[in-house]
Amino acid sequence: MIKVAVDAFGGDYAPEQIVEGALQAAEFDGIGVILTGNEARLRSLINGKPGSDRIEIVHAPEVIQMDEAAEAVRTKTESSLVKAAQLVKEGHAGALVSAGSTGATMAASVLTIRRIKGVERPAITSLMPTRTGVALIVDVGANVDCKPSQLVQFAQMGSIYAENVLRVHRPRVGLLNIGHEPSKGNSVVREVYPLLREQDASLNFIGNIEGRDISRGDCDVVVCDGFVGNVVLKFAEGLADALFGMMKEEFTSSIPATLGALLLKPGLRRIKKKVDYTEYGGAPLLGVNGMVIIAHGGSNAKAICNAIRVAKQGAQQNIVQGIAERMAT
Amino acid sequence: MIKVAVDAFGGDYAPEQIVEGALQAAEFDGIGVILTGNEARLRSLINGKPGSDRIEIVHAPEVIQMDEAAEAVRTKTESSLVKAAQLVKEGHAGALVSAGSTGATMAASVLTIRRIKGVERPAITSLMPTRTGVALIVDVGANVDCKPSQLVQFAQMGSIYAENVLRVHRPRVGLLNIGHEPSKGNSVVREVYPLLREQDASLNFIGNIEGRDISRGDCDVVVCDGFVGNVVLKFAEGLADALFGMMKEEFTSSIPATLGALLLKPGLRRIKKKVDYTEYGGAPLLGVNGMVIIAHGGSNAKAICNAIRVAKQGAQQNIVQGIAERMAT
């Protein structure tokens, strides 16, 4: 059984939805959950619920708010987030899940769980839906000014994760650029291209990809610096919102339209499901000495449950060891 | 009357759709069109068509292909593109429209028409549909490694264009970043923020914007380096394609769905129209000594007609002089 430490007070809908998601996850085979946070509150939330016997609680009196950044980790050492990270550090848990502040989760992980030896900078990832599945974007905000060697590591770490957790055979790794030719791009990516080409058979580098190739599903791992990745990620959210918003307006604008929308409901629901982050449960922070899943701030119970399952799988597949071995070569 | 030089052999559907668009545009008051390209071919395409008396033809035997880059401009001096640029340079035309290779159009403009004095680097722009209208993105690919002072100029030039051609009063200018706080971002944008803050009342700088703010319509001019802008632009095309593609699949997956789609057709058509680049006709190359509109490579007649109208408006509003005066202060 793998125990997953869950920061019960991180996230827009904490602690209720986090606890609910933990209860759902605890019903799966091989998963144990340790919730961190105000013990009395957590007890009252799980009491009598099915699965509550597979949930442990570790008291943490402090809360790091969503708008707090890395610094909060140093001052709030009794927070639910830091406590959860400590459980991983000390070996009581095999993985950490938090839907709290991304910056704080990254900081707590780096300061407490520590970097894997040889990793220059850990990377925050995100799973983006594509026409054919999902693509893992590395990095989406941890590192805004990257050195070429860091981007090479993002490619290696992302590939290991995609292969072992996303179950993609020989994941196609693409370097996000403004053209397919090796000569394209800014000074950093132009340096990265030949470095990725030089990688041995362990990396399936398919070359440069353009923005439009992502949604088409042309690759499994998209490598970029955290500035570009963050802009693209948030832009995708905004554009999808805008398109669905426009549709909603049109679909309620007349009686025939409303009737049409009703007939299309199953199909529209399938599309929404495809682009719904709650299905994916969160994305890993790669490069730290423990399996850390950063869930979306707006995670509901289903998203948290999926995040815990993904965290368990990552721990089971020994992603950390895989990365450590890769860095040592 | 303003004469617009149109590169009749640039674009995926050249010369037929370009000529057709020119004929449509020539019917508008105050627009004259000079088509450049193989004279015999062009004559046969316009002969007898309404509006053909308001179209001039300047012979250009060479063609720069869509996949040719800046270098082609130096070797193919008799190309339809270079000839069109020369017409602007020599004052025979007030503006240039090309749907050909963006890199070549940029090069032809810079080499022939030349930069406006004081402009460090011309910028390629793009109009992106938003929930409330359009946003002008500056730059989308001309400059991949930008200095802070260049981004400040992008803001100034974009603002002048939005005010005078897009008719936006005091255009809201946003700096594309990964957070709203001034301290956020990579080293370049962190330097740009205070420089934009220092700008006088001529620039309505609203601060940092995130990727998701673009589609929401939070600003009229989005400032970014050409690497980020190009990735976002192409990503938007890819994501919209993927979403519309998924819809098409769902909408033909069953009889009720097909019926529903039929009922929703007017609404879906309105959405498509909103996100359809042919409506906007192309976006300006800012910073050169003449009004240059770069139309989408896939432009059809309608897109070309709109591009010519936009070019005429830019020339009429004297965008070039506006930018030159701003640079001189």
Place of tokens 């993927």: B242
Rounded to the nearest 10 degrees, the angle between the axes of helix A226-251 and helix B226-251 is 40
Report the CATH number that the domain containing residue A224 is assigned in CATH: 3.40.718.10
Tell me, what's the pLDDT at A265?
Answer: 85
Residue B186 to residue A144, Cβ atoms within 8 A: yes
User: Are the C-beta atoms of B180 and A67 separated by less than 8 Å?
Assistant: no
- Of A133-147, A263-277, B97-111, B212-226, give the lowest mean pLDDT range: A263-277
Judge whether residue B271 has pLDDT over 90: no
Among B218, B246, B249, B277, the strongest candidate for a mutation testing the A interface, having the largest count of A CBs within 10 A, is B246
User: A142 and A60 in one domain?
Assistant: no
Count contacts between A and B (CB, < 8 Å): 182
What is the arithmetic mean of pLDDT over B176-203?
Answer: 93
Among B131, B146, B178, the strongest candidate for a mutation testing the A interface, having the largest count of A CBs within 10 A, is B178
User: A99 and A144 in one domain?
Assistant: no
- pLDDT band for B170, please (50, 70, 90 cuts): very high
Residue B185 to residue A253, Cβ atoms within 8 A: no
Tell me, what's the pLDDT at B202?
Answer: 85
What is the arithmetic mean of pLDDT over B221-228?
Answer: 97
User: Are the C-beta atoms of A107 and A73 separated by less than 8 Å?
Assistant: yes
Strand partners, B127: B136
Residues of chain A positioned with their CB less than 8 A from the CB of B216:
238, 241-242
Nearest CA in chain B to A270: B250
Q: Is residue B69 part of a domain?
A: yes
Rounded to the nearest 10 degrees, the angle between the axes of helix A255-274 and helix B226-251 is 120
- pLDDT band for B12, please (50, 70, 90 cuts): very high
CA dist., res. A208 & res. A160, Å (int): 19
Judge whether residue B104 has pLDDT over 90: yes
Question: What string of DSSP letters covers A268-286?
Answer: HHHHHHHT-GGGT--EEEE
Residue A211 to residue B178, Cβ atoms within 8 A: no
Judge whether residue B277 has pLDDT over 70: no
Q: What mean pLDDT value characterizes chain A?
A: 93
pLDDT tens-place string over residues A199-231: 878 899 999 999 999 999 999 999 999 999 999
CB-based contacts of B325, cutoff 8 Å, min separation 6:
none
Share of chain A above pLDDT 70, in %: 99
Judge whether residue A281 has pLDDT over 90: no
Residue B212 to residue A238, Cβ atoms within 8 A: yes
Tell me, what's the pLDDT at A31?
Answer: 95
Tell me, what's the pLDDT at A207?
Answer: 97
Residue A212 to residue B235, Cβ atoms within 8 A: yes
What is the arithmetic mean of pLDDT over A79-84?
Answer: 98
- Of A27-36, A246-255, A311-320, give the lowest mean pLDDT range: A246-255
Sheet holding A95-98, edge to edge: A55-59, A31-37, A2-7, A95-98, A291-294, A283-286, A123-129, A134-138, A221-223, A172-176, A204-209
Question: Residue type for A193, please?
Answer: Y
- pLDDT band for A292, please (50, 70, 90 cuts): very high
Tell me, what's the pLDDT at B70?
Answer: 86
User: A227 and A154 in one domain?
Assistant: yes
Residue A210 to residue B231, Cβ atoms within 8 A: yes
Q: Is residue B326 part of a domain?
A: no
Residue B230 to residue A178, Cβ atoms within 8 A: yes
Tell me, what's the pLDDT at A306?
Answer: 94
CB-based contacts of A41, cutoff 8 Å, min separation 6:
A15
Nearest to B107 by CA among B94, B93, B96, B118: B96
Judge whether residue B260 has pLDDT over 90: no
pLDDT tens-place string over residues B35-44: 999 999 999 9
CA dist., res. A95 & res. A166, Å (int): 17
User: B138 and B241 in one domain?
Assistant: yes
Nearest CA in chain A to B185: A144
Q: Is residue A268 part of a domain?
A: yes
Residues of chain A positioned with their CB less than 8 A from the CB of B178:
141, 144, 226-227, 230-231, 234
User: A201 and A215 in one domain?
Assistant: yes
User: A211 and A303 in one domain?
Assistant: no
Nearest CA in chain A to B267: A250
Residue A263 to residue B263, Cβ atoms within 8 A: yes
What number is the ipTM of this complex? 0.90
Beta-sheet pairing, A221-223 with A172-176: parallel
Place of tokens 């070019």: B311
Tell me, what's the pLDDT at B249?
Answer: 86
Residues of chain B positioned with their CB less than 8 A from the CB of A186:
144-145, 225, 227
- How many residues make up chain A in this entry? 329
User: B166 and B212 in one domain?
Assistant: yes
- Of A100-104, B8-12, B273-277, B289-293, give the lowest mean pLDDT range: B273-277
C-alpha distance from A93 to closest chain B C-alpha (Å): 32
User: B236 and B91 in one domain?
Assistant: no
pTM, to two decimals: 0.91
Among B144, B145, B252, the strongest candidate for a mutation testing the A interface, having the largest count of A CBs within 10 A, is B144
Q: Is residue A133 part of a domain?
A: yes
What is the arithmetic mean of pLDDT over B92-99?
Answer: 97
Judge whether residue A276 has pLDDT over 80: no
Q: Is residue A190 part of a domain?
A: yes
User: B156 and B252 in one domain?
Assistant: yes
Question: What string of DSSP letters covers B70-103?
Answer: THHHHH-TTBHHHHHHHHHHTTS-SEEEE-S-HH
What's the domain range around A194?
A: 124-280
Nearest to A113 by CA among A150, A152, A83: A83
- pLDDT band for B278, please (50, 70, 90 cuts): low
User: Are the C-beta atoms of A111 and A96 separated by less than 8 Å?
Assistant: no
Residues of chain B positioned with their CB less than 8 A from the CB of A66:
none
> How many domains are contained in chain B?
2
DSSP structural state of residue A182: T
Bond into B15 cis (ω within 30): yes
Judge whether residue A280 has pLDDT over 90: no
CA dist., res. A304 & res. A56, Å (int): 16
Nearest CA in chain A to B262: A260
Judge whether residue B252 has pLDDT over 80: yes
What is the arithmetic mean of pLDDT over A267-294?
Answer: 84
Q: Is residue A235 part of a domain?
A: yes
User: B250 and B191 in one domain?
Assistant: yes
Nearest CA in chain B to A217: B242
User: A129 and A258 in one domain?
Assistant: yes
Q: Is residue A323 part of a domain?
A: no
C-alpha distance from A166 to closest chain B C-alpha (Å): 21
Residue A164: how many CB atoms within 10 A of its CB?
17
Helix (H) or strand (E) holding A95: strand A95-98
User: B87 and B218 in one domain?
Assistant: no
- How many residues make up chain B in this entry? 329
Tell me, what's the pLDDT at B82?
Answer: 98
Q: Is residue B328 part of a domain?
A: no
pLDDT tens-place string over residues A102-161: 999 999 999 999 999 999 999 999 999 898 889 999 999 899 999 999 999 999 999 999
Strand partners, B174: B207, B222
